[in-house]
């Protein structure tokens, strides 16, 4: 797995160009920076001065604390017992319910004041304070502030900005009407946009935006631009077989040679995160030519049909994601063929695949 730090930075700059220079950017680096490697991702992005970083869990936040001094926000609701560890690591936590507000107020009175971002549930449903319950949690929030908790941000999360941008306006309207009732001070940072939102509704950038997938080369919907490719997946041919008509291939013998065929066995499989759903469906590229994946993908190897390509030899590189010559397999194409999304493909690459970072010479 090759990761292009220059492309990661160019994608960051594309987000900045879309939302404008005064908006703070919070790259989402959860799940090991969508699988590319959080340490190197933070090193590459830090030069562009993001406002801070976003993670999913306290454990990820504690790891990130060692890599940056910028603010780190934990975006998934934390379990009750995790608050002391979060405060200790100076993580910003997300508040989704009244019980956490009460716990924050208590912790602050005990001298461990915590910064928090309040999440407003505008339709995502999985987390966030429900605007209909504001009469109950609104006073709890004020009590936490009176106790000494620090209100750093308030945000909502978009559910369909990628494939139905029309849903963004009503979500933002609900967010804004809730803000009007809450009346946070001018220092409380408002934020709403994920990658798709940064491109389809940049006018709703408020003070911060939270891009993820676009930075890592995933196109968040057809109305967004195509990001630069960040991740390539390549592996070497380890064997070439001259198959005769009737020869069977792989588990379940789902491919049978119909004529004389050449098969190349490549040293990558679903144990590395190459989606098994690409069996008999996906593509590799070798020497600038597309070659189909044939048979079932195994844990450690995958076979491609190189019939008509007599020059392919063991040792040659096959690209399953990324560019080779004029040919390119995008993350979107691979994910569509596998019946999933780019997020799942990227985070599915396993630790067995070395992450080889290509660091750019310039910015
Ligand atoms: C993951 C996440 C994002 C980033 O979403 P992308 O679609 O990858 O840009 C933004 N905000 C929150 C709260 C998230 O959990």
Average pLDDT over residues 223-242: 97
CA distance 13 to 35: 21
Rg of the chain, C-alpha, whole Å: 24
Closest Cα to residue 266, out of 287, 297, 225?
Answer: 297
Q: Is the pTM of this model over 0.75?
A: yes
User: Taking a C-beta distance cutoff of 8 angstroms, is the pair 286, 320 a contact?
Assistant: no
Q: How far apart are CA 121 and CA 129, in angstroms?
A: 5
pLDDT at 362 over 60: no
Residue nearest to atom 6 of ligand 1 (CA): 212
Helix (H, G, I), strand (E, B) or coil at 153: strand
Question: In degrees to the nearest 10, what's the CA dihedral of 56, 57, 59, 65?
Answer: 60
Per-residue pLDDT band for 360 (boundaries 50, 70, 90) equals low
pLDDT of residue 322: 96
Q: Which protein residues are within 6 Å of ligand 1, measured from CB?
A: 28, 75, 157, 194-195, 210-213, 220
Residue 303 is classified by DSSP as E
Give the pLDDT of residue 267: 98
| Mean pLDDT, rounded, of the chain | 96
pLDDT tops 60 at residue 361: no
Pairing state between β 231-243 and 24-25: unpaired
Q: Which of 179, 110, 182 is nearest to 141 (CA)?
A: 182
Residue 18 phi/psi, 5-degree rounding, is -75, -40
What 3-state class would DSSP assign to 68? coil
Confidence at residue 134, expressed as pLDDT on a 0 to 100 scale: 97
- The Cα–Cα gap between 238 and 190 comes to 53
Structure tokens at 313: 């030899």
Q: What is the pLDDT of residue 291?
A: 98
Cα of 35 vs centre of ligand 1, distance in Å, is 14
pLDDT at 68: 96
Cα separation, 109 vs 6, in Å, equals: 46
- How many angstroms does the Cα of residue 199 sit away from the middle of ligand 1? 14
> Residue 87: enclosing H or E segment and its boundaries?
helix 83-88
| Residue 155 Cα: closest atom of ligand 1 | 13
Instruction: Flag the least confident range among 79-83, 137-141, 155-159.
Output: 79-83
Taking only the tens place, the pLDDT of each residue in 68-115 is 999 999 999 999 899 999 999 999 999 999 999 999 988 877 887 789
DSSP-based three-state secondary structure for 294? strand
Q: Which helix (H) or strand (E) holds 244?
A: none
Ligand 1 atom with least separation from CA of 34:
8
**What is residue 305's three-state secondary structure?**
strand
The alpha carbon of 242 and the centre of ligand 1 are apart by a number of angstroms equal to 47
pLDDT reported for residue 358:
86
Q: What is the pLDDT of residues 164-181, one digit of tens each?
A: 999 999 999 999 999 999
Tens digits of residue pLDDT in 286-296: 999 999 999 99
**pLDDT (mean) for 46-61:** 97
In the three-class reduction of DSSP (H, G, I as helix; E, B as strand; rest coil), residue 44 is classed as: helix
Residues 6+ apart with CB under 8 A from 238: 265, 266, 267, 301, 314
**Which contiguous run of DSSP H or E holds residue 174?**
helix 168-182
Q: Are 122 and 176 contacting, i.e. CB atoms less than 8 angstroms apart?
A: no
Burial 146-179 (b: 16+ CB within 10 A, else e): ebbbebbbbbbbbbebbeebeebeebbebbbebb
Q: How many angstroms separate the CA atoms of 189 and 114, rounded? A: 16
Helix (H, G, I), strand (E, B) or coil at 345: helix
Angle at the Cα of 17 (from 11 to 23), degrees rounded to 5?
A: 105
Q: Whose CA is nearest to atom 4 of ligand 1?
A: 212
**Do residues 76 and 63 make contact, with C-beta atoms less than 8 angstroms apart?**
no
The residues annotated as belonging to the active site are: 30, 251
């Amino acid at each position: 797995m090759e990761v292009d730090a220059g492309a990661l930075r160019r994608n960051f700059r594309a987000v900045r160009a879309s939302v404008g220079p005064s908006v703070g950017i919070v790259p989402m680096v959860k799940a090991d920076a969508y699988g590319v490697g959080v340490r190197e991702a933070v090193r590459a992005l830090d030069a562009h001065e993001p406002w801070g970083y976003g993670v999913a869990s306290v454990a990820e936040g504690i790891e990130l604390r060692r890599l940056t001094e910028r603010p780190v926000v934990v975006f998934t609701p934390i379990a009750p017992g995790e608050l002391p560890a979060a405060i200790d690591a100076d993580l910003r936590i997300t508040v989704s319910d009244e019980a956490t507000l009460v716990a924050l107020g208590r912790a602050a009175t005990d001298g461990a004041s915590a910064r928090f971002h309040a999440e407003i549930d505008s339709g995502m449903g999985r987390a966030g304070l429900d605007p209909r319950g504001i009469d109950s949690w609104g006073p709890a929030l004020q009590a936490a502030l009176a106790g000494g908790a620090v209100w750093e941000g308030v945000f909502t999360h978009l559910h369909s900005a990628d494939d139905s941008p029309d849903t963004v306006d009503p979500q933002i309207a609900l967010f804004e009407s809730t803000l009007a009732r809450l009346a946070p001070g001018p220092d409380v940072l408002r934020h709403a946009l994920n990658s798709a939102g940064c491109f389809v509704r940049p006018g709703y950038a408020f003070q911060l935006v939270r891009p993820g997938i676009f930075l890592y080369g995933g196109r968040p919907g057809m109305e967004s631009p195509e990001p630069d490719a960040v991740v390539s997946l390549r592996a070497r041919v380890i064997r070439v077989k001259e198959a005769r008509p009737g020869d069977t291939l792989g588990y379940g013998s789902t491919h049978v040679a119909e004529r004389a065929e050449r098969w190349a066995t490549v040293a990558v499989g679903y144990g590395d995160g190459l989606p098994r759903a690409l069996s008999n469906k996906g593509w590799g590229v070798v020497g600038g030519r597309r070659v189909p994946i044939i048979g079932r993908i195994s844990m450690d190897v995958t076979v491609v049909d190189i019939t008509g390509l007599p020059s392919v030899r063991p040792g040659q590189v096959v690209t399953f994601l990324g560019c080779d010559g004029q040919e390119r397999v995008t993350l979107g194409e691979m994910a569509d063929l596998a019946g999933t999304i780019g997020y799942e493909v990227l985070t599915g690459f396993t630790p067995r695949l070395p992450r080889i970072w290509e660091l750019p010479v310039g910015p």
